[in-house]
Structure 1
Amino acid sequence: MTDQAATPLIFIPENGVEAGPLDDGQRAWAKANGFAGQRGRLLAMPDAKGGIAAWLFGTGPEQGRPVFVAGLASASLPEGDYQLQGSFGDPTLASIAFRLGAYRFESYRAAPPAPRLVLPEAADAGEVERQVAAASLTRDLINTPANDLGPDALEARARDLATRHDMSIAVIKGNELLEQNFPMIHAVGRASAQAPRLIDLRWGKETDPKVTLVGKGVTFDTGGLDIKSAAGMLMMKKDMGGAANVLGLAHAIMDAGLPLRLRVLLPVVENAIAGNAFRPGDVLRSRAGISVEIGNTDAEGRLILADALALADEEKPDLLIDMATLTGAARVALGPELPALYSTDDSVAAGLAAAGLASEDPLWPMPLWSPYSSLLSSRIADLNNTASGGHAGSVTAALFLKRFVSKAAAWVHLDIFGWAPDARPGRPVGGTDQAIRAIYGLLRQRYSA
């Protein structure tokens, strides 16, 4: 809608000043200031009283212009109300990008007030709100340090979401994990002052298609007895990024009312160091009955995921998706912007990749290369939790998890980073959502009412 009080934000592609929606005076001002639609550049347009009549915003080359480029504008604009004009592309995506670029994490210090957006008439207000809320929930969780977001607090946040959406919730905690056969979740988390747990949330009709989400919830990772370096621990508050993304995604699914039976499983632990910590060389039993030799206690995420995936798999879901900040190898191979995507179903993988490109939430398909399974061999157990040789670390981690999934119609594993080390369109520096829009887009295509 048009709001007379809102300042226009006029999108201009590279070298598009002459063809853009500007009058002669505005064109002259743009040229005098060297503005030619350069990607990410903002230029204030003065009014007759010395105020700001509008802002010009450069979107860069027309060919291949990112759909989320509006997020660069909102990251830099001062407080105020804005309305989008010019060549901003899909109004819903542009609005989501603007709102996400204006994200601020303010739990510990005040941030400059964020710019506000008057939605374009053609934008889907409901989609904008739910996708921004999903991403903001995820970012807030990842950005919160471990002293304020240990296993107890993460459970409390899951309970908040359950209350909001009328989900059922069950929590298996501490020694109950051993009694109910989740030995690897217990082993990884038992050294912490806060007990390990498995959080199980359900929503939707039992007769609808079953979609199960599993999120790695390591609220802090010291590396265990194979302790990380000081530098290696600096960002380990984000090791629950899988759980955070799963909770954000669950909110979007439920807020949209997608006709599916949603289950969310969060194995939540702190990988701490104490006299009762699990050790290199230990052999752990798993829920699936597979024995696992511990080659490295810093490869703990796959252990807790394995028990949770085994539980999820018992129900034979139509689609089983896990998300985890799992390996540094995925970051070496693909960098921080491209989560590694593994799937037992090529059509699901292709659909997720396409949905990710359409929503500026890219994923990169990777192979479940079965010959590398031999790298996980152990002389005394069924598997080792780390691969020999130091090669293909993300692939072998995915192959490890695959051993615990056999009944689900389709399984997807996403090895995410959960962090933006540099500002990108719609993603300020810090904890970030990854794969939420891609997965949500695929689920909407498959399961819309």
Structure 2
Amino acid sequence: MTEFRARAARLAARTADRARRLRHDPFVVQTLRSTAAATISYVVALWLSSEPAPLTAPLTALLVVQVTLYSTLTTSLRRVNSVVVGVLIAIGFSAIVGLSWWSLALIILASLVVGRFVKVEEFIPEVAISAMLVLGVTQVADTAWDRVLETVIGAAVGLLFNLLLAPPVWVDTAGDSIEDLARRMRRLLLDVSEEFTGAPPVERAAARLHEARRLDNDVAEVDAALRTAEDSLRLNPRVKEGLLHRIMLRTGLDTLEICAVVLRVLARSVTDLAKVRAGRRLLPEPAAVVLQETAQHAADAFVSYAVLVTALDSRSAEAAETRLAGELRAARSRRAHAAELLLSGALRDPGHWQLYGALLAEFDRVLDELDPEHRGRRLMEELDRHARERRERRRRLSRGAGSTRVER
């Protein structure tokens, strides 16, 4: 009986954890929201449009309802703009020519060109689609304005859907992605540092190098998650200090991306050293152990830095910054000792001093990038840049309003 209860408890815990993940999965949230918005827009269009099957409204809602409120608003404007432009082009062509192969070619060409100038971005084909659908019917005017009405209904329902039921803020998801990236980088640095105390074959060192190169794909995935999080913070009434959160996450990812590049260079240096040593130990014994300890502290600093970047409260941030500072101090201390040992080794065997120096320089770059003071300077620079851009936008708006008053 006790074993049965334990199994039931474990099953309930796994089920609850899976349900929690589904609630925070962007794909699941987007699927449910898009389905509900498309259905509502179709029902509203049946009431207001004269079309028997106003499918343009749910189609627009599907395209408009995005994961974030900011992207929903911008997509709504571009979508309505593209349809209205296409309808106007079709009305103009219908007043001059009918539907034939050459008029169809002209309307497609004109729609794609005009769509480029009105800046509807990904909805440029929608301009041509709207024009063709309207031109191909008998009652051009009625069908044209019905299509515009259905598009406006779908866009309005999608926008109201996100206004009344604000989409989630994806900061936690982006933070988890940043921490996962830091852990993968930690694991890679530890794997590379294992080769310091041995005589790895060139093939194994090259495999580490390929792993380091694959970090670029991981960075791209985290960047996509971070863009979603940044959009979710814009125009969201539930978020305070959204700009600060965006800058903290973005500068944190930029630092980890630089460190990923340095890790790739470090793996390359180890591969070159393995080629030169040709089956012999990469580094002299005392220096190899100390440099491996340096790598262990630097690897732990990756995770502490990611926790610091993604911390949402001051207590967690202070604890993470304290751990990070301690790990950086230990890493710098071991790195200085390793430099002394490698210098004595280079004096005895000067043929490899360039590679020894490259290893030390790469560790220096990682430790410098993870330094909290360096991060503070970058945060202030980004905040100053955004403040300057905001002042410049206000100045342009003020000049535009002033010139309008003068003309009047």
- TM over 0.5, shorter chain: no
- Scaled by the length of structure 2, the TM-score of the pair is 0.27
- Scaled by the length of structure 1, the TM-score of the pair is 0.25
Higher fraction of strand: 1
Higher fraction of helix: 2
